[in-house]
Structure 1
Amino acid sequence: MELDFECTDLSIWKEALSSYKSRIQSLNKPNLISLDQFYTHELPSLLRQRNPNPFITTAELSRLMQWKLTRGKWRPRLLDFVSSLDDSSVQSVSQKAFLSLPDISKAISELTVLKGVGAATASAVLAAYAPETAPFMSDEAMLAALGSSKDYSLKQYLLFVEKLKSKSKEIPFRKG
């Protein structure tokens, strides 16, 4: 189902969300289902277990990058860069980023010092830990919210976050 971003009908948003798993399966890309399981379930759990000082490892960041690239445009150099990062640096940088939240700008800036990690990948890292604060800057979400998925800068990400915050206030969603 295609969802118009301007829609404020909660039932339509819930229906779109419930179709996520089947949409991922329909992409029919090798390893995407297991990578998506890792990103949506395993990684958030691992990060929460590390509180009060959460961090991501190089191996986890590499799997996250595989997930991100498998969903979108495959750019193997990014995966090579990320996979070759020093684990202690990745852990230290990601810990600083997670502890910077809810300052999204600072958290993204912390993560993007890592070679191969741009704003979109940094947003995926933060979204795995704090999805209520930092949404993932996917091509599809950028296109829906901003009308374009060409600019993956921090400035564009902050506009994206504000657009989603504004949208969340329009939809009468209640947890529970």
Structure 2
Amino acid sequence: MELDFKSSDVGAWKEALSSYDSRIESLNKPDLVSLDQFYRVKLPSLLHDRDPNPYLTTSELSQLMKWKLSRGKWRPRLLDFVSSLDDSAVKSASEKAFKSLPDISQAVKELTVLKGVGPATASAVLAAYAPDIAPFMSDEAMEVALGNSKDYSLKRYLLFVTKLQDKAKELKLKGEWDGASDIERALWSVTLRSKSKSKPEKGSSEKKRKRQESQNSLGKEDK
């Protein structure tokens, strides 16, 4: 199923969102299913149990980072950075960030003082606490909503937030819809499906690549 970002068909958006769990499973990545449950269910509950002064621990940030990297591109250095952060620093920065909401710009700035935490990771932290207003800055959703996913600046994230918040408000007027994070998950799901459909038959590309490497290697040896 294709989904145009401009579409106001609530049914189409709900169908895309409903495929999220199966898309997560289809990636066949170690622990991703359990990490996704932690991120979407357990972590929000833990954070709100700490209201009115919610905060994040280093251990929780590390798990969140594992989820982010498993669902997207794996960058082990980022995981190393956040896992070694001082717990008091993470608690302080996250508490300030959550208190800054709904000022998303300020909330991101409070979190990005931590080593290894850029706007994308900060967005994941904020989305865990306030999914209705702060969507995760995924490459897939950025590509659909903004046309590219290479700019991870705060300015770009704020534009992304506005786009997804506006779309969520539009869908709410037409039917039942929760918020900006559901827009992100719907976009991620349809993008993942499109990518999987465009992939060549399993095994064929790998054989072709190895054959080409073999030919290139023979060519180099001849020179």
TM-score (norm 1): 0.97
Give the corresponding residue for 2:176: 174
Question: Partner letter of residue 166 of structure 2?
Answer: S
CA distance in 2, matches of 1:167, 1:175: 10
Q: Which residue identity is paired with 2:157?
A: Y
Q: Secondary structure at the match of 1:164?
A: helix
What is the total number of aligned residue pairs between the two structures?
Answer: 176
Q: Counterpart of 1:21?
A: 21
5 Å-filtered alignment, 1:1-176, equals: 1-171=1-171, 172-174=174-176
How far residue 173 of structure 1 moved from its aligned partner, in angstroms, is 3.3
- Residue identity opposite 2:103 in structure 1: D
**Per-residue deviation, residues 25-46 of structure 1 (Å, max 9, x unmatched):** 0111111101101001000000
- Runs of at least 5 residues in structure 1 that lack an aligned partner in the other structure: none
> In the TM superposition, what whole-angstrom CA distance separates every residue of 1:124-172 from its partner, at most 9, and x where no partner exists?
0000000111111011111111011100110000000111122223322
Answer yes or no: is the 8 Å Cα contact 2:133–2:165 preserved in 1: no
Whole-angstrom CA distance in 2 between matches of 1:175 and 1:169: 8
TM-score by length of 2: 0.77
Q: Distance in 2 between matches of 1:20 and 1:80?
A: 28
Q: Which AA in structure 1 matches 2:150?
A: K
Q: How many Å separate the matches in 2 of 1:126 and 1:170?
A: 22
Identity of aligned residues (%): 73
Deviating 4+ runs (over 4 angstroms): none
Displacement after TM superposition at 1:175 (Å): 5.4
- Worse-superposed segment, 134-143 or 164-173: 164-173
Higher helix share: 2
Higher relative contact order (CA 8 A, sep 6+): 2
Query: For 1:26 and 1:159, how far apart are their aligned partners in 2?
Result: 30
Shift of 1:3: 2.0
Partner AA of 1:119 in structure 2: P
